[in-house]
Amino acid sequence: MSQDAGTREDADEYAALKREITQWVTGPGEQYAERIEATGEVPPELFAELRDRGYLSLAAPQRLGGRGIPFAQYLELMEIVSRSHASIRMLVHVINGTWRAMDPYMTDEQREKFVVPSVKGEKLVAFTLTEATGGTGADIHSTVRREGDRYLLNGEKHLITFGVKCDWWLLAARLEGSTGKDGIVAMMVPNTGLDGAEVVDDSQTMGVHGTDHAILRFHDTPVPVANRVGEEGQGLEVMLGGFLLPSRVSVAMSCVGLAERAQELAVQYAQRRETFGKKLAQRQAVQFLLAENYADIRAARALVLEAARAYENDDPEAGVLSSASKMVAVDMLTRVTDKALQIHGGQGYWKRNPIERVYRDARAQRFEEGTNEIQKLVVGRAVLTGQV
């Protein structure tokens, strides 16, 4: 269910915000992108700048310290941010989303301790669900057992974005001896050198350089019961409905934004590159590729915005549309970036050209927030059971 509580931005104010973000992405954002690729790290001043500009608190409601921009409008801003470096997009995407998982299930005291500092960009929360030996649903293997006023956590998590440098892990585990979704517990685990907790930096990736990723191992790690999010058995509801449903739509829109950047780079290159006395832009074969990209991007964008509106309106099809939008947008991004790279010819293979980074970064969306195979299962089952 949508937790957005904002009202639509004034048209002029919203247009000004879109221009501001566009100017930042094409100016300082590109400078940061070059720096991240050179160093492999997101500089602290980038995080501070995103926070101070309010880009990390666009979507959260005003009662939590956010701007309260409704989901569909927020996604249009995410579309712009996604034309920048993937790590910049990741920061904006995650921090503008984790509040949705926490807020509906927390007490007032928890909300002040965890949610408000996250929205303000003072504390970083890492979404911690995925495991190496299980899926990302009812089959997770990490366990907790309760002893008095604490849980003892055991197990392993992997592919945890921001898991190294975060302040808190929003983590799901199951009660020892339980099976299925009814035994899942969500909790806030502090990344503060807890007993029995091991953090392995696993940040050497093909793309999305600069964003840290972690493997986490726990052996009887104590977590206060007071840090539980919701009730025992609500863990998957917190993790999937609260975060993953809207996050899939946000990732789908990030595919649209990155595809638009790839198309922009391909057009620029085609207009300046000459072969045999002609600009590439004059060649019908290249025009066909660019035309296909345009249509592909526009079609995916329309579906993403339909999914966003369904989520805003608590439409029964919101979950299916979120999976469908990500499925379509991811495949679109694959086609568009491949054609954009092809237009660059051999030049596109060299790191000095931005299309090389865009091509690598695009691969991450194929598994982020669930692979396309999982999305197809969700959509296929809905179709066969008459839910759509």
- Give the C-alpha separation, 318 to 80, whole Å: 23
Residue reference for tokens 């491949």: 338
Q: What count of other Cβ atoms lies within 10 Å of the Cβ of residue 203?
A: 18
Distance of CA 56 to the CA centre of its chain: 13
345 within 8 A of 269, measured Cβ to Cβ:
no
Q: What count of other Cβ atoms lies within 10 Å of the Cβ of residue 176?
A: 13
User: Which is nearest to 5 in space by CA: 96, 67, 52?
Assistant: 67
From 76, 260, 368, 369, the catalytic residue: 369
Residues 6 or more apart from 261 whose CB is under 8 A from it?
Answer: 82, 83, 84, 354, 358
In the chain, what is the greatest distance between 2 CA atoms, to the nearest angstrom?
A: 79
Strand partners, 229: 186
Q: How far is CA 382 from CA 40, 376, 377, 388, in A?
A: 42, 10, 8, 6
DSSP for 237-282, please give it: IIIIIIIIHHHHHHHHHHHHHHHHHHHHHHHHHHHH-EETTEEGGG
Residues 6 or more apart from 50 whose CB is under 8 A from it?
Answer: 56, 88, 91, 92, 121
Radius of gyration of the chain, Cα coordinates, nearest whole angstrom:
21
Residue reference for tokens 């058995």: 233
Q: How far is CA 168 from CA 4, 123, 161, 204, 259, in A?
A: 23, 8, 12, 22, 32
Please state whether 310 falls in left (phi above 0), alpha (psi between -120 and 50) or beta: alpha
Asked about 20 being catalytic, the answer comes back as: no
Catalytic residues, which ones?
Answer: 369
